[in-house]
Amino acid sequence: MKTRTLNLRALAAAFAIALPVTVAGHPALAAKPEIYTPPLTRLALEGYDPVSYFGGQPAKGDPQFTTTYKGAEYRFASAQNLARFKAGPEAFLPQYGGYCAWAVAHNYTAKGDPLAWKVVGGRLYLNYDRKIQERWAADIPGNIAKGDHNWPQVLK
């Protein structure tokens, strides 16, 4: 009888230790990363050059001009754009880590599409797609204010 009680206690102790570790490590319950990258990759902006947006047109980056910042890989169309980014990366990063600006304004996250973008006040904003971008653009100042209020708590 004593052996059975000890085994049940050992099993209960193992379960008590394993459950919180399993739940805390579950992807659906973990905080989202600060910078959006597609699953199974750390490539930000789907390989688009973040500096190029500020010239008025996004350009695909070249794998030979690459850097890592805050755990995400960024590609650049030229060595000059790479150098500009390295000199001041925060000036070129999309707001809300590249998540959809409209979603963040509404207190949730969704991927940002690098082709649904707008620079406002020297800051780059991405949206889920062009249709969502139209909704976001209907009240840019209001949506930015709401997004700024929700960021980064929306990642939790």
Inter-residue contact 110 to 81 (CB < 8 Å): no
Q: Are residues 105 and 85 in the same domain?
A: no
Query: Considering the domain boundaries, does residue 9 fall inside one?
Result: no
Residue closest to 71 by CA, chosen among 27, 35, 113: 35
pTM for this entry: 0.81
DSSP 8-state secondary structure symbol assigned to residue 26? -
Instruction: Say how many CA atoms lie within 13 Å of 80 toward its Cβ.
Output: 2
Inter-residue contact 49 to 77 (CB < 8 Å): yes
Query: Considering the domain boundaries, does residue 74 fall inside one?
Result: yes
Number of structural domains the chain divides into: 2
Distance CA 53, CA 36 (A): 17
Q: Are residues 103 and 147 in the same domain?
A: yes
Instruction: For residue 61, give the 3-state DSSP assignment.
Output: coil
Burial grade of 11 (CB within 10 A; 0-12, 13-18, 19 or more) = exposed
Query: Considering the domain boundaries, does residue 26 fall inside one?
Result: no
What's the full length of the chain, in residues? 156
Residue that terminates a domain, selected from 74, 90, 106: 90
Chain-centre distance for alpha carbon 78:
24
Cα first-last separation, the chain: 47
Query: Considering the domain boundaries, does residue 81 fall inside one?
Result: yes
32-64: pLDDT as tens digits: 999 999 989 999 999 999 999 999 999 999 999
Distances (CA, A) of 80 to 35, 86, 105: 23, 10, 34
Inter-residue contact 62 to 76 (CB < 8 Å): yes
Q: Which domain holds residue 42?
A: 37-90
Q: Are residues 77 and 133 in the same domain?
A: no
Q: What is the pLDDT along the chain (156 residues), one digit of tens a residue?
A: 554 554 556 545 554 454 444 444 445 557 899 999 998 999 999 999 999 999 999 999 999 999 999 999 999 999 999 999 999 999 999 999 999 999 999 999 999 999 999 999 999 999 999 999 999 999 999 999 999 999 999 999
